[in-house]
Structure 1
Amino acid sequence: MTATSTIVAKLWNLSKALQGAGVSYQGYITELTYLLFLKMLEETKHEERLPKGYRWADLVSKGGVEQLDFYRKLLLDLGNSKIAKDPLVSAIFTDAQTALRKPTDLKLLTTTLDELDWFSARDDGLGNLYEGLLEKTTSEKKSKAGQYFTPRPLIDSIVRLVKPQPGEVIQDPACGTGGFLIAADRYIKSKTDELFKLSAEQAHFQRCEAFGGAEYVPETRRLCLMNLQLHGIESSVGDIDSLSSDGEALGKADLVLTNPPFNKMPQSVSRADFSITADERVGPLPFVEHVIRALKPGARAAVVVPDNVLFADGVGARLRTWLMNMCDLHTILRLPTGIFYAQGVKTNVLFFTRGKTDEGNTKAVWVYDLRANMDAFGKTRPLNVEDFAGFEKAFGADPYGKAKRKDEGEEGRFRCFNRKKIEDRNNNLDITWLKDTEATAEEGLIEPEDIAAAIVGHLKAALAEIEGLSEDLEVEVVAVAKKEAAE
């Protein structure tokens, strides 16, 4: 067990002690974010980012009710940009409040943090420690996992395939806790000897300008900012809605990596530059339009989407047609079930490249079925890097999907469908050929939380289909009414 995993285990065990005090897993991680930020600035000798009198030593020097009262004031003041001049500090502590009610609970946390082996943790990487805590949260509460955490094996596989490069602008318009941006940064650092092979100017760009994006949920953005900072990424992630007018300000990117929300939200898209999904409810379809518009000519993207993006009629069909015209949609990965139950739908990854013209960019789509005849994924069978080995080999070494590929036929997992065949399917991209044994696979689930998550997933998927049908009927009714009024 590494020093980092030992510390993660110790910190996670504290959450059990605080559950009786009414602190949830999510609340506990948020609480730790505040305290770890203070402690890590002390450990890394960067306390100048904090105003004097608001540092770790000031907090731990107090006890009892005095400490808890000081902590509450500290959270309030550090979120005030007039007191905390450092923009990252004020962003992390904006609207911060503690869920702790007892002075003894705060003292337990501060004492435990003080006693940890920080020397070894720094050697392993403080960012890895924090990421470990985030992963613990989601693994403990699977039904919440998809809200802000994409499985790391999936992220790492995608990043290995698209090969982010130094100097590229990399964007995630729905950052969550920053998993894609951090993985891209990690990949680039592995190829550049931790940026030492780059010039000073290039290294500064990588740390401060290469990565960007947005996260609209305040608590999740807080976790994202902390995560980026601990991984040495100074780039900012905005607290904006990418599907509002603010989303245009994200600018153009060389690479977009994202796992946007799967569910439709009550509010509608309000982007003046949108034409395909304008006035659509906020959800996966408008996010795909954002990604396409955010790509520079020749730039590439990998986007996690639910199944209905592949087959939805109406706006969905128009979006797919537009996507295949504007971009080379070269690869679709059908993901296994059991890794995104929170959203209640089956998922895929779309790999595409923005064309240098706006017409006829997709000549053929390769589909890899990693869903049929797969294990039931859950607590007892987690997703791991080996699960993507076959797909990565079939995808090839070209990040634009241009490597030589082999159609494996009806018995294989990787097949090619030319544009004519897709047009004959009315541009429906929900393409299957292997026998789907999903039901049999789910019978193998044994953990109660996995079984419950599967049930919730199917119920949410059914509800999403009903909502989609209802919306289609409403559109038809409005169209008929307009036609009759015109006559």
Structure 2
Amino acid sequence: MYEEAFKNIDDVFWKDAGCSSELDYIEQTSWILFLKYLDDYEEEKETAAILNGETYERIIDKEFRWNEWAYPKTYDGKLNYDIALTGDDLLEFVNKELFPHLAGFKQSAENPNSIDYKIGEIFSELRNKLQSGYSLRDVINKVNDLKFLSNKEKLELSSLYEDKIKNMGNAGRNGGEYYTPRPLIKSIVKVINPQIGETVYDGAAGSAGFLCEAFDWMSKSKELNAAEFQQLQNSTFYGKEKKSLAYVIGIMNMILHGVEAPNIIHTNTLAENLADVQQKDRVDVILANPPFGGKERSEIQQNFPIKTSETAYLFLQHFIKMMKSGGRCGVVIKNTFLSNVDNASIALRKQLLEDCNLFAVLDLPQGSFIGTGVKTVVLFFEKGKSTEQIWYYQLDVGRSMGKTNPMNENDLKDFFETYKTKQSSKNSWLLDIGSVNKDTWDLTAKNPNTIEKIDNRTPREIIDEIEQLDLQSAECLERIKGVLQ
């Protein structure tokens, strides 16, 4: 049922002149979904309070509640067309009254972790892009049919929302930066194995995929008592995200996975000086895929002991600093980090090996991240003791990966099974740190079990083959010219 509703909503966006891409679709779906969720959430809290003989004070003022402006109902529960806004009247209310009112929550909220503040943050950053008030009415009517009251309903909605995030990543432009393949995230979470009572952090949260999967993993790890459930809800998961759209998507994604008021802060993580990090700020588990290839300004670089403009390297320093002693981290980074010979790369590898136990490296194949040709690795490390031996695994899925052949959970099955024993195999091997060059700290993932094919041809034979290929190409061009004439 919900799948059809999401498809119909996208059809409305496609026809509206204000929405031009999958990024617009998910952005606009997010703010409307959020308001419907908020109404269901408050209704549930109010009902529970009444049953307990208590009172519940709603967050949203009456005239801005869903059932007042979005979907006022008749006595039989249907849309009251006599008072429901539509067309230009609806657009004017949403753009000039609703958004400014909700954005004001950012100033009036008591602290950044409250749901009031999240409301203010979201509606300070977004705007309604639908240009037709009739299109907006159509979307609201369809969203109104979606319910957030049961776990089954939330599970279906979260799955569909994940699909929208995936489609956004596939759409190109900058959408891919928000989407890490879910099978990869699940495998990273399984290896790191966060436990109830530990804190989990992602300083480059994006769509909050790592935090959502960690929540699923931890909530299913055992039968939770009331205190443990509240601990997962309120004091386990923390994230930071710089970009407005990603921030909103991340909050909505966590809500749909079951976290009622996600602790994600809208901020530039790298603007924080590492020297200011205190023990109370540190966490047990870090799971992340920080942006790579970005270039940070010199004033941002001043916050870090190892100066570099490469965004991912600054994030790696941040993560090491943010971990408690004994804390664990699984982080995706470009594979060139293992071999680059610039001063920052060498210094950072040295710090990683001396301050942490880099116990595993997962070498991912080309095409693991749709929309980018960048090869990546996953670093798994524990803070508090130096590295003596690294276990490498080179993932070989036996096919070219891309939009039509994305990574799946079966692709990573052997990795996780082999990781349990950390044995050597055709795809895995061990590296003793004693054999690493102490000038370069080169950690290149070079599989010693792979036999390289040696080209035994003479230079003359190679030149002959090149000339033969050139001749064939010339003949093909002549045939094409003949057809065109």
TM-score, length basis structure 2: 0.78
Deviation at 1:306, TM superposition (A): 0.5
Deviation of residue 393 (structure 1)? 0.6
Unaligned residue ranges in structure 2 (runs of 5+): 47-57, 72-83, 110-115, 454-485
Q: Is the 8 A contact 1:79 1:94 kept in 2?
A: yes
The equivalent position to 1:226 in structure 2, one of 236, 246, 252, is: 252
Answer yes or no: is 1:131 the counterpart of 2:162: yes
CA distance in 2, matches of 1:328, 1:236: 29
Could you give the per-residue CA deviations for residues 316-342 of structure 1, whole angstroms, max 9, x where no partner exists? 011101110001111110112112254
- Between the aligned partners of 2:310 and 2:166, the Cα distance in structure 1 is 27
Distance in 1, Cα, partners of 2:435 & 2:106: 61
Structure 1 residues 22 and 191: alpha-carbon distance in aligned structure 2, compared to 1, 3 A threshold:
closer
Q: Which residue of 2 aligns with 1:318?
A: 347
Separation in 2 of the partners of 1:354 and 1:77? 45
2:269 corresponds to 1:242 = yes
Residue type of the partner of 1:427? Answer: W
Q: Using the alignment, how far apart are the partners of 1:422 and 1:306 within structure 2?
A: 20
Cα distance in 2 for residues equivalent to 1:183 and 1:436: 38
Contact kept? 1:336, 1:347, Cα under 8 Å: yes
1:392 aligns with 2:406: no
Q: Once the 2 structures are TM-superposed, how far is the Cα of residue 386 of structure 1 from its aligned partner? A: 0.3
Shift of 1:266: 4.2
Secondary structure of 2:143's partner?
Answer: helix
Asked if 2 retains the 8 angstrom alpha-carbon contact of 1:50 and 1:84, the reply is: no
Aligned-residue offset at 1:8: 3.5
Partner residue of 1:184 out of 192, 211, 214 = 214
CA change 1:119–1:166 in 2 (3 A) is: closer
Q: What secondary structure does 2:105 align onto?
A: coil
Residues 253 and 156 of structure 1: is their aligned pair in 2 closer, same or farther, counting only changes over 3 Å? same
Alpha-carbon RMSD:
2.6
Q: Is the 8 A contact 1:171 1:256 kept in 2?
A: yes
Among 53, 69, 81, the alignment partner of 2:63 is 53
Counterpart code for 1:10: N
Distance in 1 (CA, whole Å) between partners of 2:173 and 2:184 is: 18
Q: C-alpha displacement at 1:192, in angstroms?
A: 2.6
Letter in structure 2 aligned against 1:16: W
Which position in structure 2 is the counterpart of 1:70?
Answer: 93
Q: Is the 8 A contact 2:162 2:253 kept in 1?
A: yes
* Equivalent residue runs for 1:286-301 within 5 Å: 286-301=314-329
Equivalent residue of 2:387, what SS? Answer: coil
Check the 8 A contact 1:363/1:418 in 2, yes or no.
Answer: yes
Q: Is this contact kept in 2: 1:76–1:96, CA < 8 A?
A: no
Distance (Å, rounded) in 2 between the aligned partners of 1:84 and 1:67: 26
Q: Distance in 1 between matches of 2:417 and 2:31?
A: 42
Alignment: residue pair count = 412
Specify the SS of the correspondent of 2:331.
strand
Q: Residue 53 of structure 1: CA displacement? A: 1.1
* 1:334 to 1:388, Cα distance in 2 relative to 1, 3 A: same
| Cα drift, residue 228 of structure 1 | 1.9
Partner amino acid, structure 1, of 2:269: S
Distance 2:284 2:302 in 1: 23
Percent identical residues: 27
Deviation at 1:243, TM superposition (A): 1.6
Give the secondary-structure state (helix, strand or coil) at the position aligned to 1:260: coil
Relative to structure 1, is the Cα distance of residues 64 and 309 closer, same or farther in structure 2, using a 3 angstrom cutoff? Answer: same
Alpha-carbon distance in structure 2 between the residues aligned to 1:324 and 1:370:
23
Q: Does 1:156 align with 2:208?
A: no
One-letter amino acid of the structure 1 residue matched with residue 105 of structure 2 = S
**Aligned-residue offset at 1:160:** 1.2
Query: In 2, distance between residues paired with 1:169 and 1:284?
Result: 22
In the superposition, relative to structure 1, how do residues 421 and 146 fare at CA in structure 2: closer, same or farther (>3 Å)? Answer: farther
Return the alpha-carbon distance in structure 1 between the equivalents of residues 229 and 145 of structure 2: 34
- TM-superposition CA deviations, 1:190-233 (whole Å, max 9, x none): 1133xxx2352x33221111111210112211111222223232
The correspondence for 1:423, drawn from 437, 443, 452, is: 437
Give 1:145 shift.
4.3
Q: Which residue of 2 aligns with 1:214?
A: 240
Distance in 1 of aligned mates of 2:379 and 2:205: 17
Paired with 1:83 and 1:422, the residues of 2 have a C-alpha distance of: 54
1:307 aligns with 2:335: yes
Q: Which has the larger radius of gyration?
A: 2
Helix, strand or coil at the partner of 1:49: coil
Answer whether contact 2:340 2:346 (CA < 8 A) is retained: yes
Give the distance between the partners of 2:316 and 2:423, measured in 1 at CA: 28
CA distance in 2: counterparts of 1:182 and 1:238, whole angstroms: 15
Task: Report the alpha carbon displacement of residue 74 of structure 1 after superposing the two structures with TM.
Answer: 0.8
Aligned partners of 1:260 and 1:304 also within 8 Å:
yes
Query: Which amino acid counterpart does residue 245 of structure 2 have in structure 1?
Result: E
